[in-house]
Amino acid sequence: MLYTDTITAIATPVGEGGVGIIRLSGTEALPILRRIFRPRRGSDRYRPQLLRYGQVVAADGSVEDEALAVYFRAPHSYTREDVVEVHCHGGALPLRRTLELALEHGARLAEPGEFTMRAFVHGRIDLAQAEATLDLIQAKTRTGLELALQQLGGRLSQEIRSLRQALLRPLAYLTAMIDFPEDHLPDEEVLQPLRSAYALAEQLLQHADQGIIYRYGARAVLLGRPNAGKSSLLNALLRVERAIVTPIAGTTRDTLEETANLGGVPVVLIDTAGITESSDPVERIGVERSRRALATADLALLVLDSSAPLTEEDRLIAALTHATPTIVIFNKSDLPRQLNAASMLAGHPMLRAEVTTAATTGQGLPELGTTVAQVLLGPVALPGTTLVTNPRHRDALARAVDGVHTAIKGLEQGLPWDLAAIDVTDAVQALGEITGETVSEDLLAEIFSRFCIGK
């Protein structure tokens, strides 16, 4: 598809900064630049990729800003179209004025993600790579960033494409055999490549949840009776005094959320009001919110005060976490130990790990961080394994795995070949959705609508 219109948008975030960038893409990008920008010296011929210094000017000749401008000639640009960037002063007004001038001269305001969509449509990047640009922008940890960079570099795309390729050969064979049904049964020539493609796809799928956790993070809720040290742990993990901590039981009244980087996983930590049988209406609402926070969490962090004996409240709270993967935290380990929770914890069906901490001294906190990450990630993939980090990719991959599996089973049981051909075709189709070879307009629109304007 060839776009006939030229799009423009502010490419930098809202707010004040040293520089703000207006971007244009399309056949009119350069002519529009000539009308809104006057180079300080020399003619208005632009050498590609060379910054020019000058002024942004309105139609009546009035100067709107001092700026730099650069031209990228198609196809050597982000979108593979002619692209122009005007680097203005990074304030709302100069940027808005320059944008308005571009619009007055015939550009159209870009939709969210439209620049990247054009890069995809023009074949500069595939769909998985386009999505990786969004992951890169939104990465919250170093690991998330590295994974996004890998995907942007085409690593996942490469694997998916070779998987798809590996399926095309047996598919061709199956299709050919439909026309010659008197020929022999499908032999290893079909089954073998299907089996090895299946194994590869299965392996990618196996670690997809891990990749998705690296990308999107998880929610962990701190639960425990008043004064156990939940807010102190939250602050210590965040390394900022985010929540109020006092020796008074019932300090935290409302839930509070903050994201921490634990072992490369962005974890939303939810501090809650200590759960207790209270008659105070504010406290009761707080306790109700704590229960609700648990319902939305991937992980419960059950905080026990190890310097005090177990109480009925502790048992009650522990019972609440029975349906959620749980890490028990024995806090206040700097004080003499009084707690014996062994029998209570023995009955916990979802207990994943136990960690000993002292929030006030910092003891045990690095272990707590890595334990949370380990429990969330499960068995870690071998270094060098490609990680799927996108739920859309995981679901498509799961359909592909399913299709190939059904085909193999069917062939092994001697079912008609055309059935297997249909299953393998579905698998090929599903893989193509990841890289964008086979994808509907609606899906594309939905994917790119999640981008910011100007990307």
H-type alpha helices, 38-183: 92-104, 114-121, 127-138, 142-152, 155-179
Question: In angstroms, what is the minimal distance from the CB of 342 to ligand GTP?
Answer: 20
d(CA 404, CA 167) in angstroms, rounded, equals 9
Q: Are 331 and 302 in contact (CB under 8 A)?
A: no
* Closer CB to ligand GTP, 20 or 224, in the complex: 224
* Closer CB to ligand GTP, 204 or 228, in the complex: 228
Residue that the structure tokens 């300080």 belong to = 40
* Closer CB to ligand GTP, 136 or 285, in the complex: 285
| Partners of 70 in the β-ladder | 85
Question: In angstroms, what is the minimal distance from the CB of 258 to ligand GTP?
Answer: 14
Question: In angstroms, what is the minimal distance from the CB of 378 to ligand GTP?
Answer: 29
| Residues from 165 through 224 that contact Mg ion (CB under 5 A) | none
3-state helix, strand, coil in the chain (%, to 5): 45, 20, 35
229 binds, among Mg ion, ligand GTP, none (CB under 5 to 8 A by kind): ligand GTP
Which residue from 6, 116, 252, 306 is in contact with Mg ion, where contact means CB under 5 A?
252
d(CA 327, CA 317) in angstroms, rounded, equals 13
Q: In 3D, which of 336, 326, 337, 416 has the Cα closest to residue 372?
A: 326
Residue that the structure tokens 């969509």 belong to = 117
* Closer CB to ligand GTP, 206 or 251, in the complex: 251
| Partners of 355 in the β-ladder | 329
* DSSP states along 261-315: EETTEEEEEEE-PPP-----HHHHHHHHHHHHHHHT-SEEEEEEETTS---HHHH
Q: In 3D, which of 172, 5, 144, 12 has the Cα closest to residue 91?
A: 12
Question: In angstroms, what is the minimal distance from the CB of 235 to ligand GTP?
Answer: 8
Question: How close are the terminal C-alpha atoms of the chain, in Å?
Answer: 20
Which residue from 231, 276, 321, 389 is in contact with Mg ion, where contact means CB under 5 A?
231
Residue that the structure tokens 């704590």 belong to = 290
In degrees rounded to 5, what are phi and psi of residue 27?
-65, -25
Q: Which amino acid is at 80?
A: R
306 binds, among ligand GTP, Mg ion, none (CB under 5 to 8 A by kind): none
CA 34, 37, 42, 45 torsion: positive or negative?
A: negative
Q: Is 276 in the site for Mg ion (CB under 5 A)?
A: no
| Residues from 331 through 390 that contact ligand GTP (CB under 6 A) | 331-332, 334-335, 358-360
Stretch that binds Mg ion, among 97-105, 109-117, 185-193, 248-256 (CB under 5 A): 248-256
Q: Is 230 in the site for ligand GTP (CB under 6 A)?
A: yes
* Closer CB to Mg ion, 226 or 403, in the complex: 226
| Residues from 44 through 103 that contact ligand GTP (CB under 6 A) | none
Stretch that binds ligand GTP, among 13-21, 25-33, 184-192, 246-254 (CB under 6 A): 246-254
* Closer CB to ligand GTP, 93 or 249, in the complex: 249
Q: Is 129 in the site for Mg ion (CB under 5 A)?
A: no
| Residues from 7 through 66 that contact Mg ion (CB under 5 A) | none
Count of residues of this chain found to bind Mg ion when the rule CB under 5 A is applied: 4
Count of residues of this chain found to bind ligand GTP when the rule CB under 6 A is applied: 24
Task: Give, for 72, the enclosing helix (H) or strand (E).
Answer: strand 63-72
Q: Is 272 in the site for Mg ion (CB under 5 A)?
A: no
d(CA 147, CA 385) in angstroms, rounded, equals 11
* Closer CB to ligand GTP, 7 or 245, in the complex: 245
227 binds, among ligand GTP, Mg ion, none (CB under 5 to 8 A by kind): ligand GTP
| Partners of 52 in the β-ladder | 69
Q: Is 235 in the site for Mg ion (CB under 5 A)?
A: no
Stretch that binds ligand GTP, among 106-114, 154-162, 227-235, 254-262 (CB under 6 A): 227-235
Using DSSP's 3-state secondary structure scheme, residue 221 falls into: strand
Residue that the structure tokens 């000993």 belong to = 356
Question: In angstroms, what is the minimal distance from the CB of 347 to ligand GTP?
Answer: 23
Beta strands in 188-281 (DSSP E): 218-224, 256-262, 265-271
Q: Using CB under 5 A, list all residues that contact Mg ion.
A: 230-231, 251-252
Q: Using CB under 6 A, list all residues that contact ligand GTP.
A: 224, 226-232, 245-247, 249-252, 273-274, 331-332, 334-335, 358-360
